[in-house]
Amino acid sequence: MIGLQIACGENITCPSIFGYLTVAMAFIIFVGSIYLVLSAVFGIRMGYLVIATAFFGWMILWSIIWVFGAHLGIPGVTTPKNQGPQGAAPIWQPFQSGTTVTSEKYPVVNEWPSSAWRTPNTSDASAVQEVQSAIQELLASQANTEHHIDPTAFNAIQPTDFTVKNVQFAVSGHTSLAIGQAFYTNGGPTITVALYHDSGSVQVYSWAFLIVSILGFAIHIPFLDRAERKRKAVLTGGARPPWLGPA
Amino acid sequence: MLAGLLDSGSIQFIIFGVMVIAIFITLFITIAK
């Protein structure tokens, strides 16, 4: 069973198989119809080479926009990058929680609080918010597990039931770290949570599409070139067919 | 499980590639007839 995943109308979600079928049908109709016309003109083999070269060329343009975005130099008229298929989003991953935190991998965690940890400034506002919600979600899910509550049940403990304070940042090697303290709003101990920043792999599929498209293009071009030369020889070489009068 | 697998990016990337190749072969066979 494939879950309800994709938007397919106003306030309607459909199983993602609809998306897969849409892409496959679009490919058959839009690429197939042009291939049919091309094969009638060029023949089936050269028709394929023309449509495949065009397809990979188009995919190159498309994935360049995914990788780099499209910037026309006009203010406000721009396509941001990463609008295509995306890998894992960057997240703050909690790795330690308790009344105290220790870490062998990131020794700076043991020093907390110290001068190695800095309090966030105004430019960290979004990072602080991400850290706060990561801590809230972690504690809510831990609390629900501990009390055997279904997280979707009406009596589930919500992430917003936790208050996060004292978020601080540090760097260990190339990894950004954060520590925050949180408590259940209706009372309870203060829990300290340590997190590291996982920068994710958002761009990986944009690059994968670009590289595969360039490869596909490069593979087809020499064959198309050869097929075109051969065709030219057919068109320009040899003798003119005999004139048999008006048909 | 199938839903999770179909929605992970690497599988989608592979399915797209396989679809392109499969449809080109099908079109080639169909038009050649």
Ramachandran region, residue A168 (left: φ > 0; alpha: ψ -120 to 50; beta: rest): beta
pLDDT, position A60: 96
For range A43-54, the mean pLDDT: 94
pLDDT, position A1: 36
Say which residue the tokens 């593979």 belong to.
Answer: A219
* B3, B16, B28 ranked by CB distance to A16: nearest: B3
Residues A85, A202: Cα–Cα separation, whole Å: 8
Q: Is the pLDDT of residue A3 over 60?
A: no
CB < 8 Å from B in window 60-79 of A: none
Tell me the pLDDT band of B7, cut-offs 50, 70 and 90. Answer: low
Query: How far is the CA of A180 from the CAs of A71, A144, A163, A208, B33, in angstroms?
Result: 39, 20, 10, 37, 68
Residues A102, A74: Cα–Cα separation, whole Å: 51
Instruction: For A202, name the nearest residue in chain B, comparing CA atoms only.
Output: B9
pLDDT, position A231: 79
Interface check for A219 against chain B (CB to CB < 8 A): the answer is no
For range A15-41, the mean pLDDT: 92
Instruction: For A55, name the nearest residue in chain B, comparing CA atoms only.
Output: B20
pLDDT, one tens digit per residue, over A107-153 is: 888 888 888 888 888 888 888 999 999 999 999 999 999 989 888 88
Q: Where are the domains of chain A?
A: 4-71+79-83+203-233, 91-198
* Number of A–B residue contacts, CB under 8 Å: 53
Q: ipTM of the predicted structure?
A: 0.83
Tell me the pLDDT band of A57, cut-offs 50, 70 and 90. Answer: very high
Instruction: For A23, name the nearest residue in chain B, comparing CA atoms only.
Output: B16
For range A155-160, the mean pLDDT: 89
Shortest alpha-carbon distance between residue B21 and chain A (Å): 10
